[in-house]
Structure 1
């Protein structure tokens, strides 16, 4: 893999073993990520965002398992068929992952430099000095003192510094597909802006394909080229970020945008979505997963899974998307009269 790869997720289903049996955290997810793009995945907590991201590395751990589907990555093939040494080499060398809690991916007993050398040895890097030089260059590119950071333990670094260390470790072996899981969580606004700028600049300079998981629509709007919206383990809308946010087609996407607090104007315009997101135990086995909270709910939503409707380079999975606007208004009026 020497150039930005494309990714094709097809019919991906991930289940978790519970006292109630195996319940799906993802069901029938399909997603195409174009080479060289930054794709964001947004949705409320529990929507399946991180499970999808881990599936791209074939890294879903028990009690979860990937039950069906494929994840094809240019240069690697179907990652779900890889195992053992082949899978270990793919992770890190071809696929970089930045974890949500950066401190959890760092060994508290070792300096960052020692962990870097361990990473290099595990992937057959022969010249540690070149690896250290590249790591220092990346850290300094991100506004850090490379020598000081490599000589530090994780507790000696701030949250923003640890996050940048995570980005460095994901990139230092020249991975061209990078997955960032909530890279700005728990960071102050200034550090968050710095991290977002670094992500965009490094993405362009290194020619990456990047997937960013976030619950913050503002973050997605700032950085991403395309946006995928998830709810209840399903992909409900996908398309260019400016189009999805500017004219959302799925009622859940509209609800997320309407719930964003305003800094000016009428504060009452921000409206929280009614109800709560489903859990593994409350996900419906048939029909639309969003129907209990949807203002456009119709009778067909109770029994039939909504088809994914394509409009150009945009997709939305909603029965109402197929109806003319007049029909949607009638259904809504009858439902909530």
Structure 2
């Protein structure tokens, strides 16, 4: 999957405001890429864009999302787009536990999904679903016979993950896949994600606010703030030696299991909203200790530095000093 110059805007009384701005990212085949950022950073809007599923008053105003064997998702419409979702791209929505049809059993929804994508072996589809649910610690037969209200939030979340994987899509997007799950269940879900990813050779994107999740599963990490990607690179390198001041702040804010409790340092200020994100210049400048005059007027370019790209004027100046 190759995302190139993707911009998503929302129509408001103040005009069209960007929720995602000029995002470019390549997901290599067989890799797990994580996108991390605070609430409101544009992560979920970006995720919806990958399925061309942004609803009015939002729209994709620029850019492309190219998937091998499918082409540009942004250009798909109608039946082509419907078939691409699920068959080519599996998607676990944020709060997936609330996305099931309350009037149908999980099994009936599974069969509806299979029929809508032309699956001929529906019995095989059910067997696959039972196996996936079993690997996530659930009684597959019981879950398929259940309605939404008969399952806990964590069970419904795992059903959402099963539905994203069961059609054998080669690209899978998981938006906050461990939300509302206890620590043991979270660990189990991440283990299943890694195993199924490896077995099927998937291209996987995990979107989360939890750095611990991407540290556990992701090969590469992209950090998002104010609708822009500010740093990208191998996960271990980004977390072990962050370069962008926002990435550094995120990591400093993580509570430690050992040492003094006050070692965690909260980022000063608040993240921008759709209405307050700067129209030009660095989106992080109001919270940045390295702010320079150029940050007010000029968007920092994402500059390749070894195995990483960083969008920060101060870092670029330091590299060339």
Give TM-score, length-normalised by structure 2: 0.97
**Uncovered stretches (5+) of structure 2, i.e. residues with no partner:** none
- Assess if the C-alpha contact under 8 Å between 1:40 and 1:213 holds in 2: yes
Q: Quick one: which of 170, 184, 188 aligns to 1:190?
A: 184
* CA-to-aligned-CA distance 1:127-178 (integer Å, 9 cap, x gap): 3212112211222222221111100111211222212211111111111100
Note if 1:260 corresponds to 2:254: yes
Q: Deviations over 1:276-296 (max 9, x none)?
A: 000111111111000000010
CA RMSD of aligned residues (A): 1.3
Q: 1:273 deviation in Å?
A: 0.5
Per-residue deviation, 1:180: 0.4
Asked if 2 retains the 8 angstrom alpha-carbon contact of 1:259 and 1:272, the reply is yes
Structure 2: distance between partners of 1:102 and 1:61: 18
Alignment partners' CA distance in 2, 1:39 and 1:176: 14
The residue number in structure 1 matching 2:297 is: 303
Cα displacement (A) at 1:267: 2.1
Q: Residue 116 in 1 paired to residue 113 in 2?
A: no
What is the DSSP-based 3-state SS (H/G/I as helix, E as strand, rest coil) of the residue aligned with 1:323? helix
Q: 2:210 maps to what in 1?
A: 216
Check whether the contact 1:309–1:321 (CA below 8 A) recurs between aligned residues. no
The answer to whether the 8 Å contact 2:97/2:155 transfers is: no
> Does the alignment pair 1:318 with 2:312?
yes
Distance 1:326 1:8, change over 3 A: closer
Give the total of aligned pairs. 321
SS at match of 1:148: helix
1:281 aligns with 2:275: yes
Q: Determine if contact 1:112/1:151 at 8 Å carries over to the other structure.
A: yes
Q: SS where residue 36 of structure 1 aligns? A: coil
Instruction: State the match for 2:37 in structure 1.
Output: 43
For the residue of structure 2 that corresponds to 1:88, the secondary structure is: helix
Q: Which shifted more, 248-257 or 200-209?
A: 200-209
- What does residue 12 of structure 1 align with? 6
Residue 189 of structure 2 corresponds to residue 174 of structure 1: no
Following TM superposition, by how much is the alpha carbon of 1:326 offset from its aligned partner in structure 2, in angstroms?
A: 11
| Alignment match, 2:27 | 33
Asked whether the equivalents of residues 181 and 213 of structure 1 are also in contact (C-alpha less than 8 Å), the reply is yes
CA change 1:191–1:284 in 2 (3 A) is same
Tell whether 2:174 aligns with 1:163.
no
Shift of 1:312: 2.2
Secondary structure of the 1:324 match is: helix
Q: Deviations over 1:252-273 (max 9, x none)?
A: 0000000011121122221111
User: Partners of 2:315 and 2:82 in 1: how far apart?
Assistant: 42
Q: Is 1:24–1:280's contact at 8 Å kept on the other side of the alignment?
A: yes
User: Partners in 2 of 1:66 and 1:106 — Cα distance?
Assistant: 26
Cα offsets for 1:204-249 (capped at 9, x unmatched): 1121111001000011101111100000000000000000000001
1:199 aligns with 2:190: no
